[in-house]
Chain A
Amino acid sequence: MLKTLIGRFFQGILVLFVLFTVTFFLIKELPGGPFKSGEKAIPEHIRLKIEAYYGLDKPVQVQYYRALTNLLKGDPGLSLRLEGREVTEIISQAFPVSLQLGLVAMLIAISIGIPLGVIAAWKKNTLIDYSAMALAMIGICVPAFVIGPLLADQFGRRSNLLPAVGWDPTHPSSWFLPALTLGLATAAYLSRLTRAGMLEILSQDYIRTAKAKGVGSFRMLVRHSLRGGIIPAVAFIGPAFAGIISGSVVIESVFAMPGLGTHFIKSIEVGDSPVILGSVMLYGSLIIIANFLTDLLGLWLNPRLRASR
């Protein structure tokens, strides 16, 4: 077990290093540059000075070495877009918002998706099953930029029940709509995966035996089937969680939220390499950690996997 853990750790480091290198050179291929992409052109002699200030006049290998050593020191440097502000400051403000949104969205996704999948599997090939799966399909097919404004308009502008726009970490009422919008698609996937997993378990011999012995439906579902049935869903939750945190840019735009996704996209637009690299490394680490935790959870849930290791 310890060997596996150490192996995965070094694998993660290698992945991060490759990710950093590829991203760094891709940024260099972006058209323009951080000081050539403003609305009003900066005079040439001034632009050259600014670029020299940031070390952008140095050969690319020097820039690469600097960026790498800065990152290893835990300080990606200054943003080129929000001039003079430290990347660590930007990420430390924005990431908790994305994380909080992701956690609530995941909670909503799990609370909707897994029960829906269980019910659909339990009532297989009935109207309930078809309705639940149709709902899931709608959740998968309708994009967030359609669902978000609809929810915000209905519950925010028309009924004034919840804030239509904005994010206040101290007011849970402002979390609900963006988290629901973000969580719906994941809920839909989860419900389909859970349904498939549960159907497989429910067709097992031991379930038939349990039924024959008179075990109640609820007990049978929750006690005997769920643990095995949600394994496919759990395998999906890890990467989905990382995806939810890093892919919330549409939600941030629809609900005007100060998350990391907006910084990421805006930085790419202007080639703000310190913010891009900082965000990519954070997202990369998150995905690696999430996958690792999912594997651990899978081992805990599935004794056969443990035995094979």
Chain B
Amino acid sequence: MTTLRRVVITTPILFLIVTFSVFAMMAAAPGDPAIDLAGQNATAEDIARVRAELGLDRSFLAQYWNWLSGVFTGDFGNSYSRRQPVAELIASRLEPTLSLALVAIVIAVVLGVGLGVLATVRPGGVFDRIVGVVSSAGIALPQFWVGMLLVMVFALTLRTMPATGYVPLSEGVAPWAAHIVLPAVALAVMPAAELARHTRGSVLEALDKDHILTARAKGIPTWRIYTMHVARNAGIPIVTVLGIRIAQLLGGTVVIETVFGIQGLGTLTIDSVLGRDIPTILGVVALAAAVVLVVNLLVDLSYRFIDPRTANRVAA
């Protein structure tokens, strides 16, 4: 089965499973969105009226089908609490989160892969040990703590970076970059640390292979051995870890956006969960599922570029 065909088949199944699960969980969770929306002085009649307006008085399956049939026509429904279409709401919050995630990925890849590879130059050496300690710390430290530490050092003590907020790219690259660096670094620390460890392990394993030893014996320069031979062998596990981490980055934005006061999808998710805003939660979840699918697809496709033998194995 080709990667594309697999994606085409699994996408709708995954979408249904994920959205139905979330819908069921929200329905089972304590609380009633109609109560919140009706306000603190609402009577029982007011709450019943709001419940009927939102269609919450219908059966669970009818509510889900109503939402799903809307999705088929591109209508993700209206946010309960914000009185605006969910698609519009998500679009308005997409840029900060996308910026944050993309910059964090770049930082994680550059730092993680770079440090991981450098650590293998002299295994057991000082630099290798420093990378080991730093990456262990990076994995162990909670993201919110790293974020607060960065704010304390760079925004409050050195005063070189803003502490909170987000400036859209349309208002200039410099202010955008200034506002995105600290949260992106905080978000990148954990994936970078994990990538560094995986890269180190994979590269060392590749370096032990017979053909690498042969290449060294032949006197091929180290940089050429790394780029031509090691990268091909070590690349697949690294890209696999990266794919998993990218999918998890979206979860991390929930915490980081709160710490840095960024109004993105993470804070939207928190507000929506607390406010029982089911259409918005489903919209965000559908988007997250789509991101995971796309990332998985890209990871699968990248295997063929890293090591063409993979494609041959699949084809065979």
Query: Do A and B assemble together?
Result: no
Please list the residues of chain A having a beta carbon within 8 angstroms of any beta carbon in chain B.
Answer: none
Please list the residues of chain B having a beta carbon within 8 angstroms of any beta carbon in chain A.
Answer: none
